[in-house]
Chain A
Amino acid sequence: MKQTFLRYSPILLLTLAWEAAARLGLGAAFDLPPPSAVLVAWIGLLRDGDLVTNGAASLYRGAAGLGLAIVIGAVLGIVMAWWRPVRVALEPLVEIFYPLPKSALIPVTALWLGFGDGSKILLIFLGCMLPVTLGAFNGARASDRTLVWSARSMGAGRVRMLWDVVVPSALPELLNGIRTALALAFILLVSAELIVSQRGFGNLIGILGDNGSYDAMFAVVLTVAFLGFAADRVYQVLTARVLAWRE
């Protein structure tokens, strides 16, 4: 406890310095609301429901896009590792599309599906699928040959073997790919909502900024940043637990 406090004390110090700077008049000069005002604005946003409705819209988009990307990406990656013809056809495609900056697709998905939920879900799905695919593919390809052989010699069928041997041994790399995808989902979601959207965290940030309610804008920005950080930490704890059997 004490150690955690000591470790994170610089953040506390910075917050105090921020408060002091804002109170000493720098705030007005640089549009820097003090953290206490940001906290008050945050509670206000929570009370009148703006934070909840927009947050729910954002989380729905993120969860739907990421969920699709995980399911389809993992299946695709394992099939690629398992079936040679699929690999020959898809591996170069993955190689071509993997480095393409997915944010470039923001205007296209808006063109196709408009400014609502559909365009964000599609964008997040497209952007997050390949890291998952690549993780599943690398993991499944490296799955222990001796394990596969012994499972086969014990009479395991093809599908059974996929589920019992290949998937578990692909899991660490797959989970790693999903971690990348999780971070990407947040980035794509926020940038798409900042640029073209109705509702959502990004949209709320834009509206508050245009209205000049900077303390509330800071509150939403910090909320989003914190959610991204917390999601990553929670995910790491969960994966450590899932992978505990490997030790």
Chain B
Amino acid sequence: MARVGAPLRAFAGVLASWAVLILLLVGWELVARSGFVTAYMLPPFTDVVARIFHDATDGNLAESAALTLYRALTGFAIAAAGGTALGLAMSRNGGVRWFFDPLISVGFPMPKIAFLPIIVLWLGFYDVSKISMVVFDAIFPVVTATLAGLAGVERELIWSARNLGARDRELLWQVMLPAALPQIMTGLQVALPIALIVAVIAEMKMSGYGIGAAMMTASRFADSRGVFAGIVEIAVIGYVLVKGMALLRRRLLAWHAEASNQ
């Protein structure tokens, strides 16, 4: 009974979420058309969709979305690789750990976006500064997750690998990293939305092209359809990225005990 019940309940949950989403959009449309608010305050959902469709057909949307995604994902990839490598180096080498540990623990809770003007000052207004800002913000959760994951690897696992004659390199790639992977993936899942947000904020600040910049331009010209179109686009992109990451996690960790729980 439980076996049949669980997927059914999950399906009902998905259905309920969709129903609420549709209700929300219908509610948006009704409120916007009711005359209580001006179209400037809240443009009707259908108008916003028409605007997105218009931008999609003349290529503007593809261009801004591609630029924003390029900046967010390049920064994310660098942060993912660099953060894992740094976490690894910190867990294996006392000197590296001594040097970086206070920097990470002080830097993590800081609002790093405040450094954006300094990064712009040094690296200019173009992609390099935006991507650097993304890396600077997204790397912290990856490093801390990698450290926590490696610290949590069971001693017995390491001992048995050693006993079976694993060398350092084999131990690292075949035992330590796979065992720490669930935690590292969690860190990456935290870092990915941060990467998108920071890319968008950097675009808003520096203008030019990209979804964030397009939204700021629309806002300056009091073009509220354009602003709301940007919000819908960011929401959709964010949703797709988060779901994609969860999917990747299930793929990569198919061998892990957590996968069999689902």
| Most A Cβ at <10 Å: residue of B98, B99, B102, B114 | B114
Cβ of A183 under 8 Å from chain B: yes
Within 8 Å by CB of A195, from B196, B216, B235, B239, lies: B216
Give the 9 A-B CB pairs with smallest separation, nearest first.
A232-B109, A107-B219, A92-B20, A186-B111, A228-B111, A92-B17, A224-B114, A225-B110, A101-B197
Question: In the complex, which residue of chain B has the Cβ closest to the Cβ of A92?
Answer: B20
Q: Which of A30, A101, A224 has the most CB of B within 10 A?
A: A101
| Cβ contacts A to B, 14 pairs, < 8 Å | A8-B106, A10-B99, A92-B20, A96-B21, A108-B219, A110-B219, A111-B40, A111-B219, A189-B111, A202-B114, A209-B121, A217-B118, A225-B114, A233-B109
A81 at the interface (CB under 8 A from B): no
Which of B101, B117, B215 lies in contact with A209, CB distance below 8 A? B117
Residue interface mask A84-100, B partner, CB < 8 A = 1? 00001100110110011
Whole-angstrom CA separation of A111 from B229 in the bound complex: 14
Report whether B216 and A217 are in contact in the complex, using a CB–CB cutoff of 8 Å: no
Contact B118 A93 (CB under 8 A): no
Taking a contact as CB atoms under 8 Å apart, the answer to whether A205 and B102 are in contact is: no
A107 touches B230 (CB 8 A): yes
Is A103 a contact of B197 with CB atoms below 8 Å? yes
CB within 8 Å of A: which residues of B?
A: 16-17, 19-21, 24, 40-41, 98-103, 106, 109-118, 120-122, 193, 196-197, 200-201, 204-205, 215-216, 218-219, 222, 224, 227-228, 230-231, 234-235, 238-239, 242
A205-B114 contact, Cβ under 8 Å, with A10-B98, A92-B16:
yes
Distance, CA A78 to CA B200, complexed state (A): 33
Question: Which residues of the other chain, B, contact A9 by a CB distance below 8 angstroms?
Answer: 102
Query: Which residues of the partner chain A approach B235 to less than 8 Å between Cβ atoms?
Result: 100-101, 104
Give 10 A-B pairs besides A11-B103, A225-B114, A226-B110 with Cβ atoms closer than 8 angstroms: A104-B231, A107-B204, A107-B230, A111-B224, A187-B111, A189-B111, A191-B205, A194-B117, A217-B121, A221-B117
Residues from chain B with Cβ under 8 Å of A93 in the complex: 20, 24
Cβ-defined contact, B111 with A224, below 8 A: yes
The smallest beta-carbon distance between A137 and chain B, in angstroms, is: 16
- Please, which residue of chain A has its CB at the minimum distance from the CB of B241? A99
A18 within 8 A of B: no
> CB-CB < 8 A to B113: which residues of A?
187, 190-191, 194
Which residues does chain B contribute within 8 Å of A99, judged by CB atoms?
Answer: 193, 238-239, 242
Question: Which residues of chain A come closer than 8 Å to B218, judged between CB atoms?
Answer: 107
Query: Quick one: closest A residue to B101, CB to CB?
Result: A7
Cα–Cα, bound, A10→B103 (Å): 8
